Amino acid sequence: MTRYAAMFARCAASNQAAFGAFLMLGDPNPVACADYLDALVAGGADMIELGIPFSDPVADGPVIQSAAARALAAGVRTADALALVADFRSRHANVPIGILTYANIVAARGIDAFCQELAAAGADSLLVADVPTLEAAPYSRAAKAAGIDLVMIAAPNTPQATLARIASLSGGYTYCVARVGVTGHGEAPRFDHRPLLDGLAAVGAPPPILGFGIGSAEQVTAALAEGVAGVISGSAIVERIARGEGPDEVAAFVADLKAGTRQPELRGVATSG
């Protein structure tokens, strides 16, 4: 059983949905980042999403752009980011780790070599923000060969034929975007995902996790009412690091968000996919 499948099973057994927390690797510097990574787990995150910084993150809003810029300014290279992942894995054997980055970071090492390096560092999945299903076949093959999952993004405007492609190319979970636009929590998520979730279920896609714009326990609860298997929060957490909050404060914030996945009315909603 993969770490994702085990995690979804654990959540389902305790009538909770999954909570994913995102950080940029190396933000604000590698040493401090390692403490923040532990804080995500301490706060109760079920799965961890980690960005490898890229100079031109076109799918990201200002908060995550700034996090990447801080990490790069601190001299963080891809090798440093992977070392942080390996280090985290040595302390947390069971937490699923997803890597989020951009195609050029993967291309620089070669798709196959990059996936092998992720697997060796202990990561469970790879999501490449600017690789849509049209271009995803070589990434899917390389991920499978390395024993990790390629995670794909699905949006409310993604046609059913593409959802079927997502089902065949991807694994782990399906990253459903909660609204149009780039990452960030300034603008409220839209909650009208029923057709998308039905479409994903119809083709047997990996469990849907909703991201983009989730920054409060209320939004977590609202998102889960849509019927997703979990949520991911990124910018709202990263912003706290940017403001200078320490690991304890970040852990407390994650705990607040995680609490939104334990609402009594959610019993039975979480699925093991």
Partner 1 sequence: MKLDGRFGRFGGAYVPEILVPALEQLESAFLDAQTDEAFQAELATLLSTYAGRPTPLTRCRNLGGGATRIYLKREDLLHGGAHKTNQVLAQALLARRMGKTRLIAETGAGQHGVATALAGALFGLKTVVYMGADDVARQQLNVFRMELMGATVVPVTAGGRTLKDAVNEALRDWTASFENTHYLLGTVAGPHPFPLMVREFQRVIGKEAREQILALEGRLPDMVIACVGGGSNAIGIFSDFVDDPDVALIGIEAAGKGLDGSEHGATLLRGRTGILHGAETLLLQDSDGQVADTWSVSAGLDYPAVGPEHAHLQDIGRATYAGITDEDALDAFVALARAEGIVAAFESCHALAHALKLAESGNDQILLVNLSGRGDKDMAQAQRLLAAHSLRAAA
Q: Which residues are designated catalytic?
A: 49, 60
Contact by Cβ (8 Å): 232, 20: yes
Distances (CA, A) of 125 to 58, 161, 219, 254: 21, 23, 25, 22
Interaction residues for partner 1, span 188-227 (CB under 8 A): none
> Which residue type sits at 143?
A
Q: Which stretch binds partner 1 (CB under 8 A): 16-24, 133-141, 202-210, 251-259?
A: 133-141
Taking the least distance from each CB to partner 1, the nearer of 11 and 136 is 136
- Shortest distance, position 254 Cβ to partner 1, whole Å: 26
- Shortest distance, position 131 Cβ to partner 1, whole Å: 6
* Contact flag: residue 56 with partner 1 (CB under 8 A): yes
* Contact flag: residue 162 with partner 1 (CB under 8 A): yes
* Contact flag: residue 111 with partner 1 (CB under 8 A): no
Q: Which of 129, 222, 224, 257 binds partner 1 (CB under 8 A)?
A: 129
- Shortest distance, position 66 Cβ to partner 1, whole Å: 9
Q: How big is the site for partner 1, counted in residues (CB under 8 A)?
A: 40
- Shortest distance, position 57 Cβ to partner 1, whole Å: 8
Q: Which of 50, 59, 209, 238 binds partner 1 (CB under 8 A)?
A: 59
* Contact flag: residue 132 with partner 1 (CB under 8 A): yes
**Which residues are near partner 1 by CB under 8 A?**
54-61, 65, 69, 72, 77-78, 102-109, 129-135, 152-155, 157-159, 162, 177, 180-182
